[in-house]
A and B are shown apart, each in its own frame.
Chain A
């Protein structure tokens, strides 16, 4: 039997569960969030059912089909240009009147529609009883009750889609009252004089858009064969409507639509009195309380970071040990040479450093997923709304900012939902200051190495500085290059929902999988490349004489202190059993025995120790000389004068700059650069220990490096998206602003910090 193809566009208001229905229909696992604006691009999936193959497009959520914001234009253009066989309008059954407003506009567009009355279980629990059969008859649209999260009603929805496609012959434009009807039909008549034009744009819909003074419609009318007549008619009708109703014609149309909807819903919806205040209101009374809301929000975020670090520390340590063993194993199995160096110092050190953070990533995104899925994330936006307005930001900018904690790429794209171009540019420019998940490993590494007892608080401080910088930057832009007031925004607060285990599992899995995949591709490639630039050109250190340096070093060694150490060892004052390192324990025990038996004198033991320290020092110098001779060393030396004032030596400078590939690469680079000059036992203790032992690092430098990584221009993936969203000019500005800003902030922090440290 022949398979028939049906194209379905899934549309609706934000946060009505479109993506849940999309996932339920297609079996895909796209991100679902209990806050508006999750979908910023159309997504596609397929479903086979009976003898039909459905191609389903998930469109961004919109409240109307005006041309104010990009997501509205995406939805509108898709329906007009792609002409899907049917539009499935996903409605929130609990807010039917507002949701049907968009539905009316689809009807004006003359496209076949099926309505999914989603979240019908929640509506019924709140006493809203919908007679879908009656509503279908009144509005002349097929209605199906669905519960997306439980996949209820989806087969019925597919049946209604098939029925609508097979039997759709209705050309129905909703009635907006006698007076307006005459005006609409006269403009429609004028539009119909150009058959080619009305084949592209439905005449009834276009007439309404002209009366609404829709910018895009006014532009398009220039292509009409009888444009002067249409323009004259439109202007005449707008004047008449505005004179008659005493209001703007756009408002009149909107009121008529709502009037039509109210009439329909009054017939088909009954509301049972609900005596009990529902759970959402009870929780909101506390978490949105004027006094308590901010402390609760801060406590939750603080608790998340503390828990993440407290629990994550253990599996992270295990992974570090495993990578230490892997490194030792690879080192013992492979013959000395370039390939061994590539595997041990390049791949294992670089990728292993990044992999160790997987447990923390899992935990952090587990908590964030719970916040998202319960609906608390929307409350955070609500709490922050007033604060954002103080800094000239639009309340809706908070969603991109929140997404920015995950990744700047979707965050920058989410700014499309903002209607004003200035709001959008400001949001795109400040979003990269939100500390993304890729920067997290850098913060965790440095905070763990230098602030072991306060790691959670230190990382939170970086996040807070990121938010503050974003807000201050917004205020600066608003007062200077992007003057103007932020536009008002009504925040939608979805009801609290119990997150599903399946949903949370997929969120966390998706994030973890992406992290691992990235470690296996971009970070692996970057680690290989960084190894190459830190290895070539090779310096033959054997030809360099270190004799003078040896003598110089021997002179500087504190002989008395070594002598006291030996005497303490011989007399038993040094308690060997307290030493943790087995190798060190063994060699000290042997030395003690030799000293007691008189096989070695104190003097000879001191001389041996001096010789040993000198050799180790010379070896480190050789490796450092080779590193400085390499491409990375040369680049590092060039940029060193620039990064010196912020406390970095050339190695830290090179590490900070490599974050351009992906922010985790900063960790990989540190892993590769700081494997230099340490012996095998130390190597197994991990990168944190190596950094702690390096002279160039101290807690202040570590904190400045965290700040630098936070503020400097984002990774190339984000830069590519910024260019796509706001163009080359603003991309250039963004790079310049963030790079100079990073340097300036780090300079101030380092210079002031140096006075105290």
Chain B
């Protein structure tokens, strides 16, 4: 049961990361693609 809870939490975190990245990118105003906060003009790979 504990294993299911841990795996469930990890999968949930993954979903949150992906949804967050999607909305961060959709809200793109500063020239960044949302993949990282480091790039100068979203020159990600």
CB within 8 Å of B: which residues of A? Answer: 28-31, 38-41, 43, 337-339, 342, 361, 403, 406-407, 409-410, 413, 436-438, 440, 510-511, 513-515, 517-518, 521-522, 524-526, 528-529, 532, 661-662, 716-718, 720-721, 723-724
Contacts and interface: CB of A to CB of B under 8 A. Distances in A.
A338 B31 contact: no
A528 B31 contact: no
A339 B17 contact: no
Given A413-B41, A717-B34, A342 B17 contact: no
Contact of B36 (A410, A440, A517): A517
A724 B28 contact: yes
B28 A518 contact: no
B28 A529 contact: no
Interface in B9-32: 10-11, 13-15, 17-18, 21-22, 25-26, 28, 30-31
Among B10, B17, B30, B41: residue with most chain A CB under 10 A: B41
Contacts of A29: 40
Contact of A510 (B7, B14, B21, B39): B39
Most buried by A among B14, B26, B44: B44
Given A361-B45, A529-B15, A514 B39 contact: yes
Nearest to B41: A410
Given A338-B4, A437-B45, A511-B45, A522 B17 contact: yes
Interface of A is mostly: helix
Contacts of B10: 342, 528
Contact of A717 (B7, B17, B25, B41): B25
Contacts of B42: 407, 409-410, 413, 717, 721
A526 B45 contact: no
B17 A525 contact: yes
Given A339-B3, A339-B6, A526 B33 contact: no
Nearest to A340: B3
B18 A522 contact: yes
Given A413-B42, A514-B38, A525 B14 contact: yes
Closest 6 pairs (CB-CB, A-B): A41-B31, A437-B45, A528-B14, A30-B40, A525-B14, A409-B33
A436 B45 contact: yes
B41 A40 contact: yes
Given A409-B33, A438-B44, A720-B34, 8 more contacts: A30-B41, A38-B41, A41-B30, A41-B31, A406-B43, A407-B33, A413-B42, A525-B21
Contact of A518 (B7, B22, B31, B44): B44
B31 A661 contact: no
Nearest to A361: B45
Contacts of A437: 44-45
B43 A526 contact: no
Interface size class of B (residues with CB under 8 A): 20 to 34
B41 to A, nearest CB: 5
B41 A526 contact: no
A39 B44 CA distance: 15
Contacts of B6: 339
A438 B35 CA distance: 12
A720 B44 CA distance: 15
A661 B44 CA distance: 14
A513 B43 contact: no
Given A339-B7, A525-B18, A529-B11, A514 B41 contact: no
Contact of A532 (B11, B34, B35, B41): B11
A475 B36 CA distance: 36
A28 B4 CA distance: 45
A129 B6 CA distance: 71
B38 A510 contact: yes
26 contacts: A31-B43, A39-B41, A40-B31, A338-B3, A342-B7, A406-B45, A407-B43, A410-B41, A438-B45, A511-B43, A514-B44, A518-B44, A521-B35, A521-B36, A522-B35, A524-B14, A526-B14, A526-B18, A528-B10, A528-B13, A528-B14, A532-B7, A532-B14, A717-B44, A721-B42, A723-B26
A529 B31 contact: no
B25 to A, nearest CB: 4
Nearest to B6: A339
B7 to A, nearest CB: 5
Nearest to A28: B40
Nearest to B27: A720
Nearest to B37: A517
A407 B38 CA distance: 15
Contacts of B41: 30-31, 38-41, 43, 410, 413
A510 B3 CA distance: 38
A337 B11 CA distance: 16
A721 B44 CA distance: 13
Contacts of B7: 338-339, 342, 532
A409 B17 contact: no
Contact of A529 (B18, B30, B35, B40): B18
A674 to B, nearest CB: 21
Contacts of A514: 35-36, 38-39, 43-45
Contacts of B31: 40-41, 43, 410, 413
B38 to A, nearest CB: 6
B40 A31 contact: yes
A532 B21 CA distance: 19
Nearest to B10: A528
Nearest to B18: A525
A717 B3 contact: no
B9 to A, nearest CB: 11
Given A406-B45, A514-B35, A661 B18 contact: yes
Contacts of A525: 13-15, 17-18, 21
A721 B22 contact: no
A338 B7 CA distance: 7
A37 to B, nearest CB: 11
A409 B3 contact: no
Contacts of A339: 3, 6-7
B24 to A, nearest CB: 9
A141 B27 CA distance: 40
A509 to B, nearest CB: 10
A528 B9 CA distance: 11
